[in-house]
Amino acid sequence: MTDTTGLLIMDVDSTLIQEEGIDLLGELAGSGAEVANITHRAMNGELEFGEALAERVALLAGLPDTVFATIRKQIHFTHGVRELVDTLHARGWKVGVVSGGFHETVDELADELGLDYVKANHLEIADGMLTGKVVGEVVTKDVKLASLKKWATELGLELSQTVAVGDGANDLPMILASGIGIAFNAKAVVREQAPYQINTPNLALALDIIQKVRGDI
């Protein structure tokens, strides 16, 4: 038996936070428009995520590692996220994020909210500069799904006891596999397939959906 009553995991960029972190980095690298265009196409499912990530990260080569502190000042939590996390924690849930973004920014955000699980990409840094490469496993749609399953298993939960929230095409597998899959201000390809939708920028509305489906929030 487990003392944990549920697991919610969500995407970070344009879900947990209002911005796309890699687009902010692209602006600082002088490649903002190009990076943003690739991001848009990848999130709509027009590009394979791993290739799109490699292409965008390559444009960041030469940036100093101080850029993470710089963009943190430009990042804003999505409205309602603290209410969502605090309410679920009070009800015995665990909350995590799985992101195609980077640990260099996501870890701090997760710490601020007291999240239980974090999975993201690692940027390669040498001599205080970004090399334009990612090191380790790339967080693709398959890795997002695997993280949902792994964390649920660790907690002794069935997938029916999980919630997944995201906005992009790479979030779809975890959204469809979870007990309550929510498209959050999502791209059309996600809205068309997700069982539930939130089309207002307020993550606390997920509590209403969970209450309606499970009745225990």
DSSP 15-77: IIBSS-HHHHHHHHTT-HHHHHHHHHHHHTTSS-HHHHHHHHHHTTTT-BTTHHHHHHTT--B
| Distance of alpha carbon 195 from the chain centroid | 18
Q: Which of 3, 13, 86, 208 is catalytic?
A: 13
Q: Is 65 one of the catalytic residues? A: no
Catalytic residue among 11, 23, 116, 167: 11
Count of helix runs (H) and strand runs (E) in the chain:
10, 7
Instruction: Identify whether 216 is a catalytic site residue.
Output: no
Collapse the DSSP code of 176 into the 3-class scheme (helix H, G, I; strand E, B; otherwise coil) and give the result. helix
Residues labelled catalytic: 11, 13
